[in-house]
Chain A
Amino acid sequence: MTSVTDRLISPGDAVVAAADRTLVPVRVPWYRSLPLSCWESVAVTLDGQRFGVDQLELRLGDATIPCTELAAKHETFWFVQDTGWLVVPATLDATQVELRVEAEIRIPYILIGPDKALVRHVQDGGTLPVVRSGEQ
């Protein structure tokens, strides 16, 4: 059992396998919405294969943003109740996957020194079901 501030994945959520990629459901591990610029790093591991920040995109609402560009998005807030999707350049055939998501999240109002905000390392994962998507 994990508190919400240590959760990147909603219990019961499924990974979505598309024809040429995989979508991983991700949540904000904090009590409030945060700007995308607060995601200092993110990584996904699918069945032991790790994908770093330069291989991932974030799909949030109608927007799809390369994760390397999140740092510049300080005016785009990720609402705390919304699921975002990390788009991974991998295909999955199985009905479940061993998933791990790691992130470094800056808490922009908790200051721990001059010009230095708290950065939390959060990781979450487990065995998730995989559902098929018809999308391209």
Chain B
Amino acid sequence: MMTDTNVDVAGTGISLGVTLYSFTNEWWSRQYDLTGLVAEVAGRGLGPGVEIVGFQSLRTFPEVDADSVSLWRGLVDRFGIVPTCLGSNVDVALRADRSLDRDEMVDYLNRQLDTAAALGFPVVRIQIGADPAVIERCLARAEKHGIRMGMEIHAPESAVSPAIMRVREFYESVDSPLLGFIPDFSSTMRRVPEGVLADLRARGLSEGAADGLTQAWLSPGNQFANFGAWAEASRAAGEPDDAVGAATLVFTMHGRAAAETWAELAPRIVHVHGKCYEFDEVGDEPSIDYPSIATVLVDSRYQGWISTEWEGHVFAPPGTVDAFDVVASQQALLRRSLTAAAG
């Protein structure tokens, strides 16, 4: 294995790995099956931590059959990877006729916890669609398996947004070591990724409107109100509907909270999503302040995994970017940032 440098980076207790979600383009394009993808990740030294999204990587999810369990466990042994986190989904709007009720959500999540246990994942990512009542009722299953449930904090939520504050209060009241958070760097960004803006320009958005969008994103106040005002003005100015509609993602995928807010959660962080989009010529990520985030994680003594999560598939079509190279760049930046923070 070439992944030793990703384990316990600079003595911080933080180790690196990747979510297979980073390879969405290659996966959707059927360039790899699960064995091939894990082999490539291991061969390029992008582990040892490996995270998956159940509904992406596993055909029979939320269930797994014995053959799938045997295949996965065989990959873990053969390639020396470490299963870190399984991404569950709380598909509240699964049905066309109505939302799932709490009983159905509990059952849906419990089935995914069972699958995580069968595959050897110690952490399951849960999403904001699971309210405290659902989480509380799933806790018994998590305890049975010894699995930690981590609520992902993803843009537009942040460590201090009202919905997450409600979860924090609930966690305090239950105080179980199996309940925690998964910060995603997308919540604490400093710039809209250039690839996202380039995609909007390709949809016909003018330079002026793109600048206005960036300004709206950087402005204080309610982000959805900022977007609404920009969208209304842009449509009135004749900007293409498709481009204005697609720009919604700027506000749902990229948040501007301060990196320091992660420190408040530190004792309850069970896993981390190291989001990235693009790298400049010196290997920095212009849209995310990696050194600041690394400092917060090291100073607050987070011990655990960070999964590299490249989300460029939303603007970069298959074949245009080598996702494995991007992941390698992110891990190099993270190692530099963690080492500097530890020094």
Interface of A toward B, CB cutoff 8 Å: 1-5, 7, 10, 27, 31-35, 37-38, 40, 71-72, 74, 77, 79-81, 106-111, 115-117
Contacts and interface: CB of A to CB of B under 8 A. Distances in A.
A3 B90 contact: no
Given A5-B313, A81-B28, A31 B21 contact: yes
B318 A4 contact: yes
Contacts of A1: 317, 320
A3 B55 contact: no
Contacts of B56: 31-33, 80
Given A4-B318, A5-B314, A109-B129, A37 B96 contact: yes
A3 B199 contact: yes
Given A4-B28, A33-B55, A117-B93, 6 more contacts: A4-B313, A5-B314, A33-B59, A37-B96, A108-B89, A109-B127
Point out which of A2, A27, A79, A81 has the most chain B C-beta atoms below 10 A from its C-beta: A81
A71 B97 contact: yes
A81 B27 contact: yes
Contacts of B91: 35, 108-109
Contacts of A81: 27-28, 30, 59
Interface of B: 21, 24-25, 27-30, 53, 55-56, 59, 61, 89-99, 127-129, 199, 252, 313-318, 320
A31 B92 contact: no
A30 B187 CA distance: 22
Contact of B89 (A7, A71, A79, A109): A109
B92 A108 contact: yes
A110 B251 CA distance: 13
A106 B29 CA distance: 22
A116 B104 CA distance: 17
Contacts of B27: 31, 80-81
A117 B90 CA distance: 12
B94 A31 contact: no
A5 B24 CA distance: 10
Contacts of A27: 28
B38 to A, nearest CB: 15
B35 to A, nearest CB: 13
Nearest to A33: B55
7 contacts: A4-B25, A4-B317, A35-B94, A80-B27, A108-B93, A109-B93, A111-B92
A71 B56 CA distance: 21
Contact of B55 (A32, A115, A116): A32
From A3, A74, A115, A117, name the one whose CB has the most chain B CB atoms within 10 angstroms.
Answer: A3
Nearest to A28: B28
Given A31-B56, A80-B27, A109 B96 contact: no
B315 A74 contact: no
A80 B23 CA distance: 13
A72 B96 contact: yes
A28 to B, nearest CB: 8
Nearest to B99: A115
Given A1-B317, A109-B129, A111-B129, A117 B95 contact: no
Nearest to B24: A31
A3 B94 contact: no
